[in-house]
A and B are shown apart, each in its own frame.
Chain A
Amino acid sequence: MSHPYSDLPANAFWRCGVAEADPAAPAGIFAPKFGLGRDAAIATAGSCFAQHVGRALREAGMNVLDAEPPGRGWPPALVRAYNYRVYSARYGNIYTSRQLVQLLEDALEGRVEPAAVWQQDGRFYDALRPTVEPRGFASAEEALALRCTHLAAVRGLFARSSHFIFTLGLTECWADRASGRVWPTCPGVVAGSFDPQRHGFLNLRFGEVLEDLGRARGLLQGLNPGMRMILTVSPVPLTATASGGHVLAATARSKAVLRAAADEFAAAHADVDYFPAYEIVTNPAARGRFFHPDLREVTAEGVAAVMGAFLGAHGLAAETGPSRTETPEPGTDAAEGVVCEEILLEAFRK
């Protein structure tokens, strides 16, 4: 007797596709909607996990754009500490869809707000990317001048990108109640001070994320009509939640909203794809081995599983020969060392 399940491939069944399959090489988990060739000009952004994506793509020999490259001969430790080569520009982690929209609007309008400079111990921080300068700026003027330069670089970046890979990380964020502007960190964590009258908690809902993605796509298409987007959801759980609930439930809520919105958005647009990084890392068949003992950071094996699936699906085996990026020291975990200001919240743990 014939029925819709009788001719499905093995990966359509849980037992063959998950329970008895190798979680490090999940066959057929991703069928790209459009191609990604070696000639693709790729921009990356997103939450902490997106750093692995950009790094792995560079190591695979892909053309990951860098609109704010470091100088020749700068020591790797400083390059990293000052957020060079972390993403395609020095925007730091973009955790939420709202933050992405805001960055794109700022870049396109050249909007720089003096109010978005926070002070801490006599130093000045760009509130919209507070950890790109580990010691802060010397003055508010310097912070604003560097932000102007940064926004120009972002405009140039997206004008020449053929593909934009964006990793959605969180739904929770903090916003200025009056202006609606959001920050990557709660005021007072890295710098600045928290004012409950002025700063409000925002937990983006499904519709809001979807709307943000639509606005972001519109802005990007306006700048570069041929650009394609690849969305992923970070598997990294929340460090802390301000929602009032349990962090486990808050994480599930956040990831579910992002996953659903990404799916809905990709389904609606031919130039938007969704890649299941979240699913690969959280696959029950891995029995947690793709997470470090803190159950939060993703291991090198987990990153390899994700990027192997991504590159394999695009027919892009890693290039042999010298990588275009620095090689990790022997014995180090390539998945370690992500720049993640959200982890700073851990310092406030009771």
Chain B
Amino acid sequence: MMPRNVLMLGNSHTAAPRIALRDRPETWPGFQPDVFAMPGDTIGMLEVRDGAIHPSDTEVRRKMRYYNGIPDLPLSGYDAFVVIGCLAFHRLAGLQEHHRSPDFPSVARGERCRLISSGLVEALLADRIGNSPTLRLIRALAGLGQGPVLFMDTVFPSVECRTDPQDFAPHVAMAARGDGGAYHARYLRILHQALGRDAIHIAQPADTVVDEVFTAPEWMRGSVRMQPRRDVPHEAREYGHANPAYGARQLDLIVAALAAL
């Protein structure tokens, strides 16, 4: 049976589906989730205890009030959770910036790097994923036993960042070497292991992906900040967030996944 009381929660990447739902609610009839959004660097400072999400200190409490208008978030009424964003594949690209294993396509071709074992690559990924605030949050929500947890990790950066990499430089370089697809496949395998039965992972729609690890610009241009009271667009050189059109695609997948439960 389709869950009725759904909580969508996450970081700035909740903005795209939130605005899509706000602007075209008729597209997903009956789907009226609550949305709880916090800055990415505070996700690890949220505690799930006594059936509610609590901020761990006064500064996080201030942000919770600012972004959500509440001092804490009781969870008892929800029968499904959708975690959006938080864990980003592109943030793991730095792990392989200098150290790569023989099974990387670039290494197999003979490109130089600091060679490490594939076991260590996997262990590093497993550590970063398994110990991330996102996975801790997912496990805590699953531990409530109130309903399923869905998880859509962070969208790939826009393909436009290839010519303006900024913080995406390790990601762009990885793709340029031809390592992106294999590294992402490895990431997904380890992510699914880490999620286990705690959450269902919803992958980025294939038709939005360009060159294995980027998002086509039409799904990224026009993205909006997490600002709760008005729509503040990201600057043009912001390549990490998706726009409401992509948010609508996310909602399609979320509703379909919930209906399939």
Q: Do A and B come from one complex?
A: yes
Q: Are B124 and A74 touching (Cβ within 8 A)?
A: yes
Interface pairs (21), CB distance under 8 Å = A71-B95, A71-B99, A72-B94, A73-B95, A74-B124, A75-B124, A75-B127, A77-B127, A78-B124, A78-B127, A82-B117, A82-B123, A133-B119, A137-B117, A137-B118, A138-B103, A138-B117, A142-B103, A145-B102, A145-B115, A146-B117
Q: Which residues of B contact A72 (CB under 8 A)?
A: 94
- A133 and B115 CA atoms in complex are apart in Å by 13
Q: Are A138 and B118 touching (Cβ within 8 A)?
A: yes
Residue A181 CB within 8 A of the other chain? no
- A138 and B124 CA atoms in complex are apart in Å by 15
Residue B176 CB within 8 A of the other chain? no
Residue A111 CB within 8 A of the other chain? no
Interface mask (B148-180 → A, CB under 8 Å = 1, otherwise 0) = 000000000000000000000000000000000
If the complex has contacts A71-B98, A142-B102, are A135 and B127 also in contact, measured as CB distance less than 8 A? no
Q: Are B120 and A78 touching (Cβ within 8 A)?
A: yes
- A75 and B116 CA atoms in complex are apart in Å by 15
Q: Which residues of B contact A221 (CB under 8 A)?
A: none
Interface size class of A (residues with CB under 8 A): 20 to 34
Could you count the A-B residue pairs with CB atoms below 8 Å apart for me: how many are there? 48
Q: Which residues of B contact A71 (CB under 8 A)?
A: 95, 98-99, 114, 124
- A146 and B116 CA atoms in complex are apart in Å by 7
- A133 and B101 CA atoms in complex are apart in Å by 13
Residue A46 CB within 8 A of the other chain? no
- A170 and B76 CA atoms in complex are apart in Å by 63
Interface mask (B96-129 → A, CB under 8 Å = 1, otherwise 0) = 0011011100000000001111111001100100
Interface set, chain A 122-162, CB cutoff 8 A to B: 133-138, 141-142, 145-146, 149
Contact of B119 (CB < 8 Å), options: A77, A138, A149: A138
CB distance from B130 to the nearest CB of A (A): 11
If the complex has contacts A73-B94, A74-B124, A78-B124, are A142 and B118 also in contact, measured as CB distance less than 8 A? yes
Q: Which residues of A contact B102 (CB under 8 A)?
A: 141-142, 145-146
CB distance from B32 to the nearest CB of A (A): 41
If the complex has contacts A71-B98, A71-B99, are A146 and B115 also in contact, measured as CB distance less than 8 A? yes
Q: Which residues of B contact A81 (CB under 8 A)?
A: 123
Q: Main SS of the interface on chain A? A: loop
Nearest to A68 among chain B residues (CB) is B114
Q: Which residues of A contact B123 (CB under 8 A)?
A: 78, 81-82, 135
Q: Are B94 and A133 touching (Cβ within 8 A)?
A: no
- A74 and B115 CA atoms in complex are apart in Å by 15
Q: Are A135 and B119 touching (Cβ within 8 A)?
A: yes
The winner among B101, B103, B117, B118 for most chain A CB atoms within 10 A is B117
Q: Which residues of B contact A142 (CB under 8 A)?
A: 101-103, 117-118
Q: Which residues of A contact B99 (CB under 8 A)?
A: 71
Q: Are B115 and A149 touching (Cβ within 8 A)?
A: yes
Q: Which residues of A contact B124 (CB under 8 A)?
A: 71, 74-75, 78
Interface set, chain A 282-313, CB cutoff 8 A to B: none
- A319 and B114 CA atoms in complex are apart in Å by 31
CB distance from A65 to the nearest CB of B (A): 16
- A133 and B114 CA atoms in complex are apart in Å by 16
Interface mask (B61-81 → A, CB under 8 Å = 1, otherwise 0) = 000000000000000000000
The winner among B101, B115, B116, B120 for most chain A CB atoms within 10 A is B120
Q: Which residues of B contact A82 (CB under 8 A)?
A: 117, 120, 123
- A134 and B117 CA atoms in complex are apart in Å by 11
- A77 and B114 CA atoms in complex are apart in Å by 20
Interface mask (B209-237 → A, CB under 8 Å = 1, otherwise 0) = 00000000000000000000000000000
Contact of A133 (CB < 8 Å), options: B103, B120, B131: B120
- A338 and B108 CA atoms in complex are apart in Å by 35
Q: Which residues of A contact B103 (CB under 8 A)?
A: 138, 142
Q: Which residues of B contact A137 (CB under 8 A)?
A: 117-119
- A-B contacts besides A71-B95, A71-B99, 13 pairs, CB < 8 Å: A74-B124, A77-B127, A78-B127, A82-B120, A133-B117, A135-B119, A136-B119, A137-B118, A138-B117, A141-B102, A142-B103, A142-B117, A146-B102
Nearest to B96 among chain A residues (CB) is A71
- A149 and B118 CA atoms in complex are apart in Å by 14
Interface set, chain A 78-111, CB cutoff 8 A to B: 78, 81-82
CB distance from A86 to the nearest CB of B (A): 14
Nearest to B128 among chain A residues (CB) is A75
Interface mask (B122-143 → A, CB under 8 Å = 1, otherwise 0) = 0110010001000000000000
- A77 and B101 CA atoms in complex are apart in Å by 20
Q: Which residues of A contact B116 (CB under 8 A)?
A: 146
Q: Which residues of B contact A73 (CB under 8 A)?
A: 94-95
Q: Which residues of B contact A135 (CB under 8 A)?
A: 119, 123
- A73 and B91 CA atoms in complex are apart in Å by 12
